[in-house]
């Protein structure tokens, strides 16, 4: 990523302003398996943020770290939460705007035909 993209974009990772703020006021507390780095303010421990490894999409934050970011748990997820159970599935990213997004039958981009009207609808007529 070029220097101009680093200055003017925020959706491709941390901007220069975020990097300066993080280096001056942030304290690194951990990373997740996706490479996202988590920080909290050196003085006010309630102020927490994440520097994404790649695109800035909140669905890329694991549920355990999301609980820490929102202040639901005070300790880091490894210490505060029980280990992951075998039946738990991996979280899925937000698929809106992609080819994998849900498209119901009858939509312009979905497959199939629109279901027929059932006759239970009565149009409103002003008096």
Note the pLDDT tens digit of each residue in 13-49. Answer: 676 777 777 778 889 999 998 899 999 999 988 899 9
What is the total count of domains within the chain?
1
Residue 105: C-alpha distances to residues 95, 102, 110, 127 (Å):
18, 10, 6, 36
Question: Does some domain include residue 58?
Answer: yes
Question: Does some domain include residue 108?
Answer: no
Distance separating alpha carbons of residues 61 and 36, to the nearest angstrom: 8
pLDDT at 2: 67
Q: Who contacts 67 (Cβ-Cβ below 8 Å, separation ≥6)?
A: 73, 77, 81
Question: Does some domain include residue 117?
Answer: no
Question: Does some domain include residue 46?
Answer: yes
Q: Is the pLDDT of residue 112 over 60?
A: yes
Q: Once rounded to an integer, what is the mean pLDDT over residues 63-82?
A: 91
Q: Once rounded to an integer, what is the mean pLDDT over residues 66-94?
A: 89
The pTM is what? Answer: 0.68
Q: Once rounded to an integer, what is the mean pLDDT over residues 37-62?
A: 88
The 3-state DSSP class for residue 41 equals: strand
Question: Does some domain include residue 31?
Answer: yes
Domain limits at 52?
26-85
Question: Does some domain include residue 57?
Answer: yes
Distance separating alpha carbons of residues 68 and 85, to the nearest angstrom: 19
């Amino acid at each position: 990523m070029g220097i101009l993209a680093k200055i003017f974009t925020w959706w491709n990772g941390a901007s220069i302003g975020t990097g300066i703020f993080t280096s001056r006021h942030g304290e690194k507390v951990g990373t997740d398996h996706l490479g996202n780095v988590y920080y909290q303010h050196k003085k006010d421990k309630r102020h927490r943020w994440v520097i994404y490894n790649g695109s800035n999409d909140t669905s890329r934050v694991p549920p355990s770290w999301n609980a820490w970011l929102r202040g639901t748990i005070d300790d880091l997820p490894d210490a505060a939460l029980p280990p992951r159970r075998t039946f738990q599935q991996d979280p899925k990213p937000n698929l809106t705007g992609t080819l994998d997004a849900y498209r119901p039958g009858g939509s312009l981009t979905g497959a199939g035909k629109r279901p027929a009207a059932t006759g239970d609808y009565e149009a409103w007529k002003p008096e």
